[in-house]
């Protein structure tokens, strides 16, 4: 059974500035595939809780970023 968490009511949480800044640094890497801190946290929580989410699938743009990074690293 698939959950529709993206349609659920939204709740706000607080995190430390230190954690927020670490996430900002992490998402600068195009392989991470997240454009903002909220998107990254949502992705990590969905993975940790083993929640299937259509939103967590790679977009065409994200796939192209991964391919480009692999090309730069000499893997393809």
- Write out pLDDT tens, residues 48-64: 888 765 555 677 888 88
Residue 43 pLDDT exceeds 80: yes
What is the helix, strand, coil percentage profile of the chain, to 5? 55, 0, 45
DSSP single-letter state for residue 5: G
pTM: 0.55
Give the pLDDT confidence score for residue 53 in this predicted structure.
Answer: 55
For the stretch 21-39, pLDDT in tens is 999 999 999 888 899 999 9
Neighbours of 34 (CB within 10 A): 18
Question: What is the spatial distance between Cα 64 and Cα 31, in angstroms, rounded to a whole number?
Answer: 10
């Amino acid at each position: 059974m698939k959950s529709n968490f993206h349609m659920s009511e939204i709740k706000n949480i607080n995190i430390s500035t230190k954690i927020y800044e670490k996430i900002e640094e992490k998402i600068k890497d195009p392989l991470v595939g997240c454009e903002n801190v909220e998107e990254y946290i949502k992705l990590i929580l969905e993975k940790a809780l083993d929640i299937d989410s259509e939103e967590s699938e790679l977009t065409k743009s994200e796939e192209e970023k991964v391919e480009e990074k692999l090309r730069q690293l000499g893997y393809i």
